[in-house]
Amino acid sequence: MRGYDPINGLSNTAMEIFSPRKSVIIDMIMVQLLTIIVTLAVLLLTSSDKMDNNNMAYLVVGLFSAFFMLTGIYSRISEI
């Protein structure tokens, strides 16, 4: 009967932490993109009267870029 090997247990734990499954990585990316979309939308809604045209244009470009990246990732996930 084999006993508990602390080195083997430590290495298995390290491998699980530093090489997560692909679904976890995709979920983290999608959460970050959703956060960017919500943050930029709230900024546009709440402080658009204080911004000049250049800043608003940058925020709108960022909002659409994040939205298109999110839809691209979601479409690739749905194909699987």
d(Cα 34, Cα 70) in Å, to the nearest integer? 8
Of 23, 35, 40, 18, the closest CA to residue 76 belongs to 23
What digits encode the pLDDT tens for the residues 34-80? 999 999 999 999 998 888 999 999 999 999 999 998 888 888 877 76
pTM of the model: 0.65
Q: Give the per-residue pLDDT at 58.
A: 93
